[in-house]
A and B are shown apart, each in its own frame.
Chain A
Amino acid sequence: MSQNKILQIEKELLDEFELFGDDWEAKYNYIIELGKTLPTMPNQYKTDDYLIKGCQSRVWLKADKENNVLHFMADSDALIPKGIIALLLKLVNHQSADEILNYDFGIINKIGLQQHLSPTRANGLVSMINSIKQYAKAK
């Protein structure tokens, strides 16, 4: 089953988030800290070419495809978006394009993140997911 790897990581993340219960501050602290673990993206890639449209803050995402496996790097000038993209990359980084395209990104609803974002802010989240999918679809 090709889907297992991402779902396995999702399950591990959900287990961690379950510990926080309804404590949104704890969830956000976790996400902010996760962002800080993101490997540095070289400044040369922080250009409009890699900028995700639709985010209020600037979020850059770059991917290299090697043997149908995607290797991502990302950064943001704001802490929460950086944490969110780090969370998404935990799931999809170094996975095959097919696995990524088969994944529904259900984790966002399962950890209740979207309900803590206002609609315009949640748009950025959708843009991040779309951008990851576009990289997976690209030749």
Chain B
Amino acid sequence: MLKKKYHSYLYPLSSGGGAIIDVDIHKTEFADVPLRLEAGTPNIEAVIGLADAIHFINKNGGIHQFYLLEEHLKNYLYQRLFELQDQLDIYTTLQSPSVLVISFNVKNQHPFDVGTLLNNYGIAVRTGHHCTQPLMKYLKIQGTVRVSLAAYNTIEEIDRFIQALHKAIKMLL
């Protein structure tokens, strides 16, 4: 926390409504901290959204419940993907601590093709280098397909994804 006596040394990166006391041709008098640093409309929707997200988590058993649910989904997703391991290169391991994001490729197929077909089956995945071009160069690949889940996804949706992946592989071979 910045000591109060230094507050008057802080100047805003961007100025705007609500951040000033008086503006003159030669001099601008800023409001006190924190108002001088909060020009314009505050990020109200984000504050309300965050509160609602916390409420949603608490209402559904708390953060540990979410962790268990996501672990359950992650294990199932890996299990289903490993059934196809002869046809896939999977770049994430179950052992590595991670959020629920799994990168893979269909062997010898471009991630763009796989992603485009999955999209048409109603499955949203990200494809490309995911802002990690040095890693992609190291792996000598153009990119990966990245499937990510969250607590609001279901086992049935994972089954639908695997079914769509089967169809996509069949179309590309």
Contacts and interface: CB of A to CB of B under 8 A. Distances in A.
B120 A28 contact: yes
Name B's interface SS. Answer: helix
A78 B141 CA distance: 12
A80 B120 contact: no
A118 B124 CA distance: 10
Contacts of B127: 56
A57 B171 contact: no
Given A56-B128, A79-B172, A118 B119 contact: yes
A80 B116 contact: yes
Given A56-B127, A56-B128, A118-B119, A78 B112 contact: yes
Contacts of A50: none
Range of interface residues on A (Cβ < 8 Å) = 10 to 19
B113 interface: yes
Contact of A81 (B112, B119, B128, B171): B112
B110 A79 contact: yes
Contacts of A29: 171
B171 A78 contact: no
Interface of A: 24-25, 28-29, 32, 56-58, 77-81, 116-118, 121
Interface of B: 109-110, 112-113, 115-117, 119-120, 127-128, 142-143, 167, 171-172
Given A25-B167, A28-B171, A78-B110, 17 more contacts: A24-B120, A25-B120, A25-B171, A28-B117, A32-B172, A56-B143, A57-B112, A57-B142, A58-B142, A78-B112, A79-B109, A79-B113, A79-B172, A117-B116, A117-B119, A121-B112, A121-B119
